[in-house]
Amino acid sequence: MNQSLSTHIITKSPSLYKAFNGYEIFNIYGCGKDAIHEKIVDLWARNRALPADVNPEERLKQVVLVALNEDGKAIAVNTVYNSTLREMDLPDTDGAIFHAYRMFVERGKTVMWLPIAMTCGAFDILEELNHDGRYRGVLIRTDNPKVGQRSSLEQFARQGWPVYAHDRQGRVIMRRDFGVKKAGVN
């Protein structure tokens, strides 16, 4: 991969995180409501991506990065929420709090490396904002079977996301702790 996945700007308003393969990825974590939020709600609505009991306005507060296509439409978004290993059905010895990570990419819009670029970007942003050490790191549960395939898991592992465990349903859990340098990772 030619592009670094770790360059970003953190501001109080949406900021361009990076241009990537024809998409613009914006950091909106902790930002107030603006036009990009409307694009995200549109993405979720046109794809019926949110469960019926989820309030889009509440989910917007969890968005880290959003990718817009050349037409300015949102085609991918990642979100985080608080979780523990126990809440992921895994052994938990100390109750540490993690960011649990979700990503949605519109069907037919996935380009190579976009999910990994957005995942690594979200990690970098969240790590930089973890000044008080409240969070141990980030957990990813692979609800999408494609992400659990060997080739995808190998790509994630090369970027510092090794398989940590499997939950009771057999889904892969990846874990990356803050402040830990991974050998061979950009």
Residue 9 has pLDDT above 70, yes or no: no
pLDDT in tens, 76-123: 999 999 999 999 989 998 999 999 999 999 988 777 788 889 999 999
What residues does each domain of the chain span? 15-177
Residue 113: count other Cβ atoms within 10 Å of its Cβ: 17
Ranges of beta strands (E only) in the chain are 15-20, 23-27, 63-68, 74-83, 97-105, 135-141, 163-166, 172-177
Pair type for strands 23-27 and 135-141: unpaired
Instruction: Evaluate whether 126 touches 135 at the Cβ level (below 8 Å).
Output: yes
- Predicted confidence band at 180 (pLDDT cuts at 50, 70, 90)? confident
CATH for the stretch 15-177: 3.40.630.30
Q: The whole model's pTM is what?
A: 0.86
Each residue of 29-63: pLDDT tens digit? 988 777 899 999 999 999 999 999 999 999 999 99
